[in-house]
Every structure is written in structure tokens, then in C-alpha cells.
């Protein structure tokens, strides 16, 4: 009896999050309703959210807040590219997931190999989500405990949130919801590509195991060359399937990887420029307060 493996289980929560945030179209007759929901959601928490921060970049006079806003804006541009890429390549991504669902294992050792890879991925995912959660909580706490009215992130809004308490809590709640969506969306979209690569690694580990044990199940007294040949053919087919899967993943994620490389380079250069023009003491004070 072959062990039962559910390779999609590590990302079930991730897929539910994508569905909730309008990133995972359903194959049902109510897909048009989901399309309306997704459009509304992204207009409010992606387009409008980024627009208000972009406006602030042009009117902000505080260099410290302007720097913070620029860093966040670059990350949000990367997020938009990832969202568009996910939606544009949704059919290809669905095919990749179907290929993963069809993965077959033949014994307990192969099950353990796959399970070890997915367990490691789950630990990485927990670390990523934990870091993102900590960053969000710190930004919210800094705004709540500030002596003056302050939002978690620099942004312009067409309401007087600095003087009106009700307007402040409206803007604060909007930012909390918006940054929760964007922070976890950035993290999970990165983790999704990592998951696909972990599947590739797991499959190569299984292929290695099968090649190492090729022909060992055949009795020495009565060698069955046909059985060994069939096992080798299965290994070749597995290798071809994995290579095809890798090419599909590369095609889907080449644009987001390139954008991430560019944005990371921009942030490194901007950080170096900031260090060059600000004294060490001023840098420590600005980052602290």
C-alpha cells in the first residue's frame, strides 16, 4: 500500500488567504461575483492605499518621514508586480499545482523525504510570517503610544485626522487593514515561489533515492533485468517531469524575481546614500525616533 501524501497541505492556508484577498479566482458559475469582489477589494486596499502614500511623497517636508515613505512605496510597487503576475499567470500556476497533486511515492522512505522537505518549508513560512507580524505590531504600537497624533505609516488622506479623533481612528483602521493585507501578501507571494522550488528539491531528493536503490529489490539468484529497466525508465520520466516543472516555474516568476532584484538594488543604493549624507549619531536618532 502506497503512503498517502498531500503535497498541497503546507500551503492550504496560503491559498485561502489568496482567495480572501481576491487573488485566487474560483472555477464556478459565480466567478463573476468573485471578480467584482476582487476588483473592489484591490481598488480600496491596493490602488487607493498606494495612491494616498504616493501623494504624501510629493507634499511631505519631513526628510525622515519622506525616507520611510519611499522605502514603503518601493516595496508596494514590487507587490503590485507580483499581484499582476499571479493573476496573469493563474492558469499556468493552476497547472503547476495539478502537477504537484499528481506526485506519486512508492514507499515510506520516499514519503519521509517529501515530508522532511515540506516540514522545513513550513518552518521557513512560520519564520517569515512571524517577522512580518512583529513588524506590523511594532508600527501600530509606535503610532498608538505617540505623544502626538500619528499614523503607522506616512500618508495623505482627504480628512483631518490630526485634529478630529473620529477621523484619526478611521485612517488608523484603514492603514491597519491595508498593511495587514499588503504585508502578508508580499510574504506569502514570496513563499509561494519558495514552495514551488521546495517541491523541485523534494522531487530531486526522491529521484536520488530511487537511483541509489535501482535494482536492489531484485533477487540476486533470479535477476530480473526487465524490472530494473522499468525502474530506470520511471527515473528518467521523473527527471523529465521535474525539468518541465522547473521551466514552468521559471517562466511564471522571472518577472517578479527581476523586479525584486531591481527594487532591492534601489533600496541598497538609497540606504548607502543616506548613510553617506547623515552622521552616525543623526542616523541612530532618526531611526530610533
Euclidean distance between CA atoms 117 and 198, whole angstroms? 7
* Overall pTM surpassing 0.75 (yes/no): yes
Signed CA dihedral, 273, 275, 278, 283: sign only: positive
Euclidean distance between CA atoms 23 and 39, whole angstroms? 10
Is the Cβ–Cβ distance between 60 and 154 less than 8 Å? yes
Signed CA dihedral, 258, 264, 269, 270: sign only: positive
Report CA-CA distances (Å) from 147 to 63, 151, 152, 205: 20, 12, 13, 56
Residue 220, domain member (yes or no): yes
Residue 14, domain member (yes or no): yes
Is the Cβ–Cβ distance between 22 and 41 less than 8 Å? yes
Euclidean distance between CA atoms 163 and 50, whole angstroms? 23
Residue 2, domain member (yes or no): no
Q: Among 155, 197, 208, which residue's Cα sits nearest to residue 178?
A: 155
H helices within 102-164, ranges in order? 108-144
3-47 pLDDT, tens digit each: 678 899 999 999 999 999 999 987 777 788 888 999 999 999 999
Task: Supply the range of the domain harboring residue 103.
Answer: 9-288
Euclidean distance between CA atoms 259 and 275, whole angstroms? 24
Euclidean distance between CA atoms 212 and 3, whole angstroms? 20
Instruction: Please tell me the total count of domains within the chain.
Output: 1
52-87 pLDDT, tens digit each: 988 888 887 666 667 777 778 888 888 999 999 999
Residue 63, domain member (yes or no): yes
- Comparing 117-131, 194-208, 269-283, which segment has the lowest mean pLDDT? 269-283
- Segment 189-207 shows an average pLDDT of 94
Report the first-to-last Cα separation within the chain, whole angstroms: 62
Amino acid at each position: 500500500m502506497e503512503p498517502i501524501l498531500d503535497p498541497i497541505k503546507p500551503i492550504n492556508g496560503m491559498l485561502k488567504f489568496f482567495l480572501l484577498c481576491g487573488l485566487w479566482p474560483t472555477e464556478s458559475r459565480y466567478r463573476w461575483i468573485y471578480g467584482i469582489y476582487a476588483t473592489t477589494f484591490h481598488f480600496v486596499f491596493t490602488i487607493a492605499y498606494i495612491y494616498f502614500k504616493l501623494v504624501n511623497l510629493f507634499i511631505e517636508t519631513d526628510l525622515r518621514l519622506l525616507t520611510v515613505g519611499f522605502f514603503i512605496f518601493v516595496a508596494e510597487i514590487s507587490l503590485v508586480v507580483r499581484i499582476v503576475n499571479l493573476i496573469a499567470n493563474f492558469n499556468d500556476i493552476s497547472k503547476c499545482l495539478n502537477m504537484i497533486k499528481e506526485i506519486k511515492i512508492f514507499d515510506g522512505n520516499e514519503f519521509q523525504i517529501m515530508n522532511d522537505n515540506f516540514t522545513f518549508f513550513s518552518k521557513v513560512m512560520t519564520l517569515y510570517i512571524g517577522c512580518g507580524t512583529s513588524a506590523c505590531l511594532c508600527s501600530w504600537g509606535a503610532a498608538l503610544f505617540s505623544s502626538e497624533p500619528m499614523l503607522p505609516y506616512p500618508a495623505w488622506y482627504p480628512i483631518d485626522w490630526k485634529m478630529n479623533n473620529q477621523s484619526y481612528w478611521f485612517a488608523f483602521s484603514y492603514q491597519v487593514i491595508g498593511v495587514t493585507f499588503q504585508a502578508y501578501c508580499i510574504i506569502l507571494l514570496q513563499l509561494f515561489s519558495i514552495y514551488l522550488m521546495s517541491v523541485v528539491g523534494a522531487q530531486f531528493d526522491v529521484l536520488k533515492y530511487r537511483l541509489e536503490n535501482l535494482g536492489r529489490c531484485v533477487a540476486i539468484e533470479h535477476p530480473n533485468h526487465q524490472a530494473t529497466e522499468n525502474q530506470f525508465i520511471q527515473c528518467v520520466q521523473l527527471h523529465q517531469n521535474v525539468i518541465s516543472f522547473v521551466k514552468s516555474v521559471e517562466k511564471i516568476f522571472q518577472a517578479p524575481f527581476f523586479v525584486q532584484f531591481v527594487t532591492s538594488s534601489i533600496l541598497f543604493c538609497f540606504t548607502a546614500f543616506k548613510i553617506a549624507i547623515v552622521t552616525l549619531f543623526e542616523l541612530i536618532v532618526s531611526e530610533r525616533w
